[in-house]
Amino acid sequence: MTDKNRKAEVRRAGPVERIGDRWRALPRWQRALGFAAMIVFLYYLPLLGIPGLTWLRTDSIAGGANWAGVLFTCAVYVMVAIGLNVVIGLAGLLDLGYIGFFAIGAYSVALFGSVNSPVVKYLQRQFDLPETWAVTWAVCAFLALVLTMISGVILGWPTLRLRGDYLAIVTLGFGEIIRIVARNAEGLTNGPQGISAIPGPEGPPSPDNQIFGLVDVKPWYWLAITFVLVMVFAVRRLENSRVGRAWLAIREDEDAAAVMGVYPFKYKLWAFAIGAALGGLSGMLFASRYAFIDPTQFNVNTSILFVAMVVVGGSGNMLGVSLGAVLLAYLPERFREIADYRWLAFGLAMVLVMILRPQGLIPSRRRTRELKDREAQAQEAPAHV
C-alpha cells in the first residue's frame, strides 16, 4: 500500500477509529497507567462526587434511583454484553435467546441456595437435613456456571448446524421456552410466585449481613465490577488464542475455515457454551443481589435488549459492547421522563445503527473491514439481494 493510500485510509476512518489508533500507538507504560487509572475510577464511581460530574448521578434528579443500584445494573449488563459478545461478536452466531441462559443462571442459585425453593426442600426431606440447610453461595455460583454451560451445549448441539438466521429464530424460541417452563413448572420453580431469600456471598439475606445487604448496594457493585474485570481479562486472552482465531475464521468464511482444518461445529459449540456460562454467571449475580426472582423478569424484550447492547455498541469490540450496555442501562434511569419510551428508543437505535453504522458505535476493526469489503463487492457487481 502506498503512502498516499494509507493516508486516505486514515482520513476515511472515523474519529472513534482515530482515537483507537492513537491509543494503540502509546508506549506500553502509558497504556498500563491509563488502565490502572480507569480501574481505580470504576471502583470509585459509586462515591462519585467530582464537581461538574455529579449530574451524572441518577440520584441527582427528582425521583432518581439509588446511584449504586443503577451502577450495579450497568455492571451486570456489561457482563451480559461481554458474554453475548463472545457468541455474536466473536463467533458470529446471532443468539436471540440469551435471556434463557441468564434465567438458568439466576434459577440455579435460587433453586439450590434458597431455603424457600422446592429443590432445597426436597433435598432436606430426602437426607434429613435441618430446615435452614441450603447449598452455599460459592457452590451455587459454580453450579450456575456448570448448568448454563451444559444447557448451552444441549441447545447448541442440534441447532448449531443450522443456517445463521434459523439459529436466531430457534434461540428466540429457546428463551421463550425457559420462561414458560419457569412459569408453569410450579413443582420445580414455584411458578409465578417466584423464589425469595436467594443467598449472597454472606449467606441468605438477613439484617445481620455486614457487607452484602439489601440496602447498601455499593459492595454489590464492587463485586460485579470485579467479575467484569476478570471476564474482560479472560475473554481477551481467549480472543487472542487459537480458539479466538478459529472463531474469527469461521465468522468470515465458514467453508474456507473448514477447508483449512478448523472444524466449525466444534468451535461454534465452544462459543455457545462459553457465552452461556458467562450469561449464567451474570444471572446468578443478578438473582443474588435482588434476593428474589420470578419468571416475568426473563421476557423476550430483555433478550432483545441484550442483542441491542451488543450491536449498537459494536459487536466484536469489548469496549464497544460495554459502552452499549452502559448506555442502554443508564440512559433510561438518568432520564426517567423518557423511561417509558425506552423500548421505542432501543428499536429506533437498532434500526438506525444498522442502516447508518452497521459496525456499531465503537467498532471492531476487523468487523468494519468485513462490512466495507462486502459493500465494495456490491458496488463492483450489483448482484442479487
Partner 1 sequence: MNFDDLIGHIGQHTVDGLSKGAIYALIALGYTLVYGVLRLINFAHSEVFMVGTFAVLGLWTAFGVENNPPIGEAVLMLVLGLIVAAVASGGTALAIERIAYRPLRRKNAPPLIFLITAIGLSLVLVEIFGLVLPDLLGSVIPSMFGRPRQIVGMPTIIEQQTLFTIGNTSITNVQMIVLAAAVIMMAILDWFINRTRYGRGVRAVAQNPETAALMGVNQERVIMLIFVLGGIMAGAAALLWSMRFGFTQNSIGFVLGLKAFTAAVLGGIGNLRGALLGGLFLGVVEVYGATLFSSQWEDVIAFVVLVVVLMFRPTGLLGESLGRARA
Check residue 308 for interaction with partner 1 (CB under 8 A): yes
Candidate residues 35, 44, 166, 233; the one interacting with partner 1 per rule CB under 8 A: 166
Site string for partner 1, 82-111 (x = CB under 8 A): ----------x-x-x---------------
Check residue 154 for interaction with partner 1 (CB under 8 A): no
Residues 349-368 that bind partner 1 (CB under 8 A): 349-351, 354-355, 358
Between 232 and 300, CB nearer to partner 1:
300
Three-class HEC string of the chain: CCHHHHHHHHHHCCHHHHHHHHHHHCCHHHHHHHHHHHHHHHHHHHHCCCCCCHHHCHHHCCCCCCHHHHHHHHHHHHHHHHHHHHHHHHCCCCCCCHHHHHHHHHHHHHHHHCCCCHHHHHHHHHHCCCCCCCCCHHHHHHHHHHHHHHHHHHHHHHHCCCCHHHHHHHHHHHHHHHHHHHHHCHHHHCHHHCECCCCECCECCCCCCCCCCCCCCHHHHHHHHHHHHHHHHHHHHHHCCHHHHHHHHHHHCHHHHHHCCCCHHHHHHHHHHHHHHHHHHHHHHHHHHHCCECHHHHCHHHHHHHHHHHHHHCCCCHHHHHHHHHHHHHHHHHCHHHHHHHHHHHHHHHHHHHHHCCCCCCCCHHHHHHHHHHHHHHHHCCCCC
Nearest distance, CB of residue 88 and partner 1, angstroms: 8
Check residue 369 for interaction with partner 1 (CB under 8 A): no
Between 9 and 375, CB nearer to partner 1:
375
Between 72 and 306, CB nearer to partner 1:
306
Q: HSE (CB half, 13 Å, CA atoms) of 149?
A: 11
Size of the site for partner 1 (CB under 8 A): 49
Nearest distance, CB of residue 340 and partner 1, angstroms: 6
Nearest distance, CB of residue 260 and partner 1, angstroms: 21
Nearest distance, CB of residue 253 and partner 1, angstroms: 12
Check residue 184 for interaction with partner 1 (CB under 8 A): yes
Between 58 and 359, CB nearer to partner 1:
359
209: Cβ contacts below 8 Å, ≥ 6 apart? 200, 202, 203
Site string for partner 1, 257-296 (x = CB under 8 A): ----------------------------------------
Nearest distance, CB of residue 383 and partner 1, angstroms: 7
Candidate residues 173, 201, 203, 213; the one interacting with partner 1 per rule CB under 8 A: 173
Nearest residue to 345 via CA among 358, 359, 330, 357: 330
Provide the sign of the torsion angle of the four alpha carbons 243, 245, 248, 249, taken in this order.
negative
Check residue 165 for interaction with partner 1 (CB under 8 A): yes
Instruction: Choose the binding region for partner 1 from 15-23, 40-48, 49-57, 172-180 (rule: CB under 8 A).
Output: 172-180
Check residue 253 for interaction with partner 1 (CB under 8 A): no
Check residue 383 for interaction with partner 1 (CB under 8 A): yes
Instruction: Choose the binding region for partner 1 from 144-152, 173-181, 233-241, 286-294 (rule: CB under 8 A).
Output: 173-181
Check residue 300 for interaction with partner 1 (CB under 8 A): yes
Check residue 224 for interaction with partner 1 (CB under 8 A): no
Nearest residue to 235 via CA among 167, 316, 292, 296: 316
Instruction: Choose the binding region for partner 1 from 33-41, 139-147, 258-266, 301-309 (rule: CB under 8 A).
Output: 301-309
277: Cβ contacts below 8 Å, ≥ 6 apart? 83, 101, 145, 148, 149, 152
Check residue 374 for interaction with partner 1 (CB under 8 A): yes
Using CB under 8 A as the criterion, which residues of the chain lie in contact with partner 1 when the complex forms?
92, 94, 96, 158-159, 162, 164-166, 168-170, 172-174, 176-177, 180-181, 183-184, 300-301, 304, 307-308, 311, 340-341, 343-344, 346-351, 354-355, 358, 370-371, 374-375, 377-378, 383-385
